[in-house]
Amino acid sequence: MAAIDCGTNSIRLLVAEVATGHDGSAALRDLHREMRVVRLGQGVDATGLLAPEAIARTRSALVDYVGVLRRKGVERVRMVATSATRDAANRAEFFAMTAEVLGVEAEVISGAEEARLSFTGAVGDLDPDDGPFLVADVGGGSTELVLGTWDGVSATFDGAHSVDVGCVRLTERALRSDPPTAAEVAEADEVARLLLDEAFAQVPVAAARTWVGVAGTVTTMAAMALGLSTYDPERIHLSRIPFTGIEEITTRLLTTGHHERAAIGAMHPGRVDVIGGGAVVVRALARRVALETEITSLLVSEHDILDGIALSIAKTAGHQ
């Protein structure tokens, strides 16, 4: 089976097999993972439209992914599109492209469904006794918060909410200089805080015992916290960033220019221009979590919505 997650900044592919345990649990065995930065959400916040060149970049990545699917003999595929496509007035053009290239249309999922899929993917490797878990998915165009528990087989949700703030959207809205000015950083902080207040009003964060962060901004910050010279998902997965580290890394990203950020060994080239905006969102989350809970660090997971999509295919197919 194959899962494709098309977000505001990147498009990712997971080809996996699923193994079902006697207790009903399901585990994925990765056959192939790949990520391309296509910046589908380029300018969407300002124009409400998907740019033709952004659709073309996404099409090119999908053509390559189809080649992988054929070589791996994939029979079932689910493609999910999130924030940028939800907001675009010309999304029919995007759907026509995916249907032509992939043979199936992408599904535009709600922010709440995005949050639930992210939670399911993120908590699979965690000890249920460490819950309730607060999972934050900081994407390119939106951020999802979901609180829930995990018994090793299934998840129970106590609250989920999605808001339109992410690394691409916040960078385009507020962080216009490189590096951004103090006034721009203050504006970004205020935008992130106000938008995230909406999510915190819907999700009972105070009940959380473990905060889990997923997606590229968070994993890149984890790589920086670990001092990695190259991106190493095995070391990043289940590592922790103390809240003091989140503050330090965010300040570093906001006070260095493009060339200095690009020189960070674990930095993907496609994140260099927007990582500061993502870090502002993570910092705003950390400050609020610190106020409402006794949590002092962010647990980083390499497993996220992509894994949740794959598990949803397995469930539909009757594997669990």
Structural domains in the chain, sorted by start: 2-111+305-316 (3.30.420.40), 123-300 (3.30.420.150)
Q: Long-range contacts: 67-70, Cβ < 8 Å, 24+? A: 68/13, 68/15, 68/32, 68/34, 69/2, 69/15
> Is the confidence at residue 319, as pLDDT, over 50?
no
Does the pLDDT value for residue 314 go beyond 80?
no
Lowest average pLDDT, out of 106-110, 156-160, 211-215, 235-239, goes to 106-110
What CA–CA distance (Å, rounded) separates 41 from 127?
35
Report the 10 Å Cβ neighbour count for 201.
11
Angle at which helix 216-226 crosses helix 243-254, to 10 degrees, equals 100
Query: Model pTM?
Result: 0.84
Residues 6 or more apart in contact with residue 236 via CB below 8 angstroms:
219, 222, 223, 226, 228, 300, 302
Dihedral of alpha carbons 280, 282, 283, 285, sign: positive
Query: Could you report how far apart the first and last alpha carbons of the chain are, in Å?
Result: 14
Q: Which DSSP category does 76 fall into?
A: -
Q: For residue 5, what are the contacts with CB-CB under 8 A and spacing of at least 6?
A: 11, 12, 79, 80, 82, 305, 306, 309
Determine the 3-state secondary structure of 169 from DSSP. helix
Let me know if 107 is exposed, middle or buried by CB neighbors in 10 A (0-12, 13-18, 19+).
Answer: middle
CA distance 264 to 229: 7
Judge whether residue 151 has pLDDT over 90.
Answer: no
The helix (run of H) or strand (run of E) holding residue 145 is strand 143-150
Mean pLDDT of 67-77: 93
The pLDDT confidence band at residue 26, using thresholds 50, 70 and 90, is: low
In tens, the pLDDT along 118-138 reads 898 899 889 999 999 999 999
**More confident call, 111 vs 282:** 282
Tell me the pLDDT of the chain averaged across its residues.
Answer: 90
Question: In this structure, what are the phi and psi dihedrals at residue 22, rounded to the nearest 5 degrees?
Answer: -65, -25
User: What confidence score (pLDDT) does residue 154 get?
Assistant: 80
Q: Are the C-beta atoms of 175 and 266 separated by less than 8 Å?
A: no
Tens digit of pLDDT for each residue in 78-115?
Answer: 999 876 787 788 888 998 999 999 998 888 888 778 88
- Reported as a pLDDT band with limits 50, 70 and 90, residue 311 is confident
How large is the greatest C-alpha to C-alpha distance in the chain, in angstroms?
57
